[in-house]
Structure 1
Amino acid sequence: MTASPPLPTARPRWPGEFTVGIARSPLALFTRLARAHGDVVRFRAAGRTFVVVAHPELAREVLVTQQRRFVRGYAHRTLRLLLGDGLLTSEGDLHRRQRRLANPAFHRDRIAAYARAMSAAAERWSDRWERRSPTDVEVDVAAEMTTLTLGIAGETLFGTDVGDRARDVAGAIGDAMRVAPLAFLPFARWALRLPLPHVGGFVSARHRLDRIVYGIIAERRAAADADRRDDLLSMLLVATDPEETDGEPMSDEQLRDEVMTLFLAGHETTANLLAWTWLLLGRNPDAEACLHAELDAMLGAGPAARAPTFDDLPRLPYTRSVLAESMRIYPPAYAIGRICVERCTLGGVDVEPGWGVVTSPWLTHHDARWWPEPERFRPERWSEPAPDRPKFAYFPFGGGSRICIGEQFAWTEATLVLATLASRWRLELLPDQHVAPLSRITLRQRPGARARLVPRSPAPS
């Protein structure tokens, strides 16, 4: 056997630089290292060895071809303290069983049913904007989209009768997420036992979440019509594994973990996608005009615009392209971490068990080798003839057996919400704003973009 070439190794400019960087702004650290060292780079942080891979083919190796040699990354281990063993954090046989149980809730016919709630919620949000004031109303775009998608997540997951408790769940998750910067560090599990300011909030949030979610589960089990409801929780209550002869439904603890996972993933990532989309449209009036032209032709404009339906989705290609381009520039899941458990080779170099491996949609989505003018917002690139680029040059929902189970749910929700609101409103960005990506568990805005609500009028005939 010939020895593998040594991994390019990044050296910190000062002691602890990488440890601080991975805790404060992992996105900035990964970007700097990839630009300085290329497609594969090793570095040490917090006593651990990490490898960042920036080439699409290497991302495919980690997530698909050699996925059995990896398990979920360090951040997911810390998330498990909050989310338990849900689809986002579980491993092995448990993950495969839970995915089989949850799959029917995300079939096309189920998403079509959820689409009605999504579209209705967006209409109510438009009416809410209308009631606030006809002109010159300023909003925090990220906060608006978070609250809207929170309501959609609560309704599709729990049904229509737990709105207040859905908001309580979101508030508790927000409190718990303040410890997110600790997630990448090796001492995270121990740090959460220390009397630190955010730690107390994390523990309190965990107790609040358990009380709320277990209460909803108990009520739903006792309800006479539980098996006739259309929400996700009701489907999970009666789901059984098709590969088990005498399949048992989920326990209360399993249900709690899946509910927590779906609730967090179901509103956090979509809210971020929509917030970034409004920002990009506000900065690119030509793309905004093309979006309005498509929506006006299909739905109308202004107060008379009709609500989009699930059947309208194939007839809104530019709207989908706008969202795809937004996810390219600002992928909500900007990095996907794994831990090597079996020695393997990536890009011709050896990776040892125990090393953390990071693949990053952000890095590949901004790579000029695959995306000409990568910083430019061009929805038209999604309708042009497909260039010869690797599949994993674009992977906002991950890949392999752990690809996001809610991908089509997210596409449906984001398209319906954007189409409903953009057919009736323009969000005019306020001047002199500097909105930067904040890399936590997902890619948020810092601060949230501020915009003026401008009602749209029907186009001249």
Structure 2
Amino acid sequence: MTTHAPGPERPPGPRGHWLFGNTEEYDRDRNGFLERCHREYGDVFSYDARTIVVSSPDQVHALLARTNKDFLAENSPLAGPVDTERMAADAELWTSTRRVGWQGLHRRVARAHAERLREIFRETVGDGETDVLATMAAFFGRATADFCLSVDAEGVPEALAENVAAIDPLSRSSLQLPPWWPSRRVRRFTRSRERLLALMTEVVRRRRLAGDPSAQDLLGLLLASADRGLSDLQIERFLRGIMLAALGVPATALTWIVYELGRRPDVRARLAAESASAGDVPELEELPYTEAFVKEVLRLWPPTWLIGRTVRRETELGGWRLRPGDQVLFSLYRLHRDSRWWSDPDRLVPERWLDPHVAPARHTYLPFGAGPRVCVGTQLGMMQLTLATSWLVGDMEITGPQEATPDFSGLLVPRDLRVGLRRKVVPRGV
């Protein structure tokens, strides 16, 4: 165990209710609660006896960089005993598998996926009044299953969507329920998780028996890496984790993209001009302004707006002592809009990403995380979002109300955003 010099026990923080602590106030307005506490207590404060919240870029960077060593990523929506060593073993399993999974993002597989993605977009994003989040979830459900499983994706988008939908109500409350709790929400989540894992087991077994190494998808690359000794269980769990992350987050991001497109006709016109000059399935190098726009939307509206880590062993962060099982949280939304690090922090300014000589302050822009648990799909996600944005402005007219209320209860989503999406008279590329 790493030894550390003794530090202060706990940072200051709001006292809250004698029985419920800060849970009720936090759940009423999560972002507002964190903002008020930051104003009152500064860059680090205690949420409760076992949880602190940090805000400075250096603290956030240290938390993410020391993940898998001093801190662990825990993302179960259900409560349970904190077993830091089991979590560490799971982290090592994930890390060993993702070393192979990185190969899934190489140019050949990504390009093959991009070609198929064009057809998925045409088939999924259609005419008429649209529940934007539901439409984008359907698009990314198919897109994610295609990248991971291609020809073996039948039934997976539906199972994936059900698993995400089952997680959502559990994530909307700070009170985590144990797996045995007699609740319809818990039973729904457990069933949906088991169904998705069973599908993964069947797909991996069938593909391994077929022995076809030519499939241009992530599963094919994982199975082809026989020298790495990946078990079917490792592959199944890795694929489920990738697909869950690659559905909700980019679908939410694309929903915010539609929101901003509707509010900024000047930006939309510039994006449309760039789209018209590019190919039907362009390389990202052909879409510099579109990519900058996507980066700026991810700054303003990071879907994973709140990130947490579990303390693995006694350590310190920012001079404060932490014990095994403690929790450390930070708000990516607050970091991305902090006026200490950003000019015009609440305004959409894609141009801030176009000057190669101007970069954000270190550790202040982290839409895909950082450190050992940085999102494995960063490049894939940027490619999908940039291409989808180009197709939206190239193929579609966006009409209707553009106001939406940010919902911080789970992923950061624009609540109940509905717009008119109608194909242009002469769609590009036809």
TM-score by length of 2: 0.87
1: distance between equivalents of 2:28 and 2:89?
26
Matches within 5 A, 1:231-380: 231-240=217-226, 247-251=228-232, 253-296=233-276, 298-299=277-278, 306-309=279-282, 312-380=283-351
Which runs of 5 or more residues in structure 2 are unaligned?
A: 81-86
Aligned CA distance change for structure 1 residues 383 and 142 (closer, same or farther; 3 Å): same
Is 2:309–2:329's contact at 8 Å kept on the other side of the alignment?
Answer: yes
Instruction: Give runs of aligned pairs for residues 435-454 of structure 1, distance below 5 A.
Output: 435-440=405-410, 442-447=411-416, 449-454=417-422
Output one character per residue of 1:204-254: Cα deviation in whole Å (capped at 9) or x when no partner. 223322332222222222325x3211121222223246xxxxx42322x22
Instruction: Decide whether aligned partners of structure 1 residues 99 and 90 sit closer, same or farther in structure 2, where only a CA change above 3 A counts.
Output: farther
Secondary structure in structure 2 of the residue aligned to 1:377 = coil
Change (3 A) 1:50 1:416: same
**Contact 1:7-1:41 within 8 A present in 2 as well:** yes
The offset of 1:288, in angstroms, is 1.6
> Matched residues in 1 for 2:193 and 2:425: separation?
47
Name the SS for the 2:129 alignment partner. strand
Pick from 201, 213, 228: which aligns with 1:227? 213
Quote the offset at 1:408 in angstroms: 0.2
User: Displacement, 1:124?
Assistant: 3.5
Give the % identical residues.
Answer: 26
CA distance 1:178–1:281, shift in 2 (3 Å): same
Q: Is the 1:101–1:240 Cα contact (8 Å) retained in structure 2?
A: no
- Look up the equivalent residue of 2:71 and give its one-letter code: F
Cα offsets for 1:402-425 (capped at 9, x unmatched): 111110010111111111221111
1:27 & 1:313 partners in 2: Cα distance? Answer: 34
Rate the CA distance shift 1:385–1:409 in 2: closer, same or farther, 3 A: closer
1:141 to 132, 139, 142: 132
Cα distance, 1:395 vs structure 2 = 0.4
Tell me if the contact between 1:71 and 1:91 (Cα under 8 Å) persists in the aligned partners: no
**In the alignment, is the contact (CA less than 8 A) between 2:213 and 2:224 conserved in 1?**
yes
- Name the amino acid aligned to 1:349: W
Q: Which residue of 1 aligns with 2:111?
A: 112
Change (3 A) 1:161 1:388: closer
Q: Which whole-Å CA distance do the structure 2 matches of 1:19 and 1:387 have between them? A: 40
Counterpart Cα distance in 2 of 1:368 and 1:13:
32
Q: Which of these residues, 188, 205, 208, is aligned with residue 195 of structure 2? A: 208
Contact in 2 for aligned 1:330/1:362 (Cα 8 Å): yes
Partner of 1:244: none
Letter of the structure 1 residue corresponding to residue 240 of structure 2: M
Q: Deviations over 1:338-367 (max 9, x none)?
A: 122334333333334332111221111010
Q: Is the 8 A contact 2:398 2:422 kept in 1?
A: yes
- 1:266-286 CA distance string (max 9 Å, x none): 221111110001101211222
Question: Do 1:237 and 1:250's aligned partners in 2 also have CA atoms closer than 8 Å?
Answer: no
Question: Contact (CA 8 Å) 2:300, 2:346: kept in 1 or not?
Answer: yes
Aligned-residue Cα RMSD (Å) equals: 2.9
| Alignment of structure 1 residues 45-84 onto 2, 5 Å | 48-64=49-65, 68-73=69-74, 76-78=75-77
Matches within 5 A, 1:1-80: 4=8, 7-12=11-16, 15-21=19-25, 26-44=30-48, 48-64=49-65, 68-73=69-74, 76-78=75-77
C-alpha change, 1:4 and 1:34, in structure 2 (3 Å) is same
Contact 1:18 1:29 in 2 (8 A): no
TM superposition shift of 1:316: 0.8
Cα distance in structure 2, aligned partners of 1:287 and 1:354: 46
What is the DSSP-based 3-state SS (H/G/I as helix, E as strand, rest coil) of the residue aligned with 1:160? helix
Aligned letter for 1:327? Answer: L
Change (3 A) 1:106 1:250: farther
Q: Cα distance, 1:389 vs. partner?
A: 4.6
The answer to whether the 8 A contact 2:52-2:327 is kept is: yes
Q: Distance in 1 between matches of 2:159 and 2:254?
A: 22
TM-score (norm 1): 0.82
Alignment-derived partner of residue 159 in structure 2: 168
2:268, 2:393 within 8 Å by CA — same for their partners in 1? no
Change in Cα spacing, 1:209 to 1:3, as seen in structure 2 (3 Å) is: closer
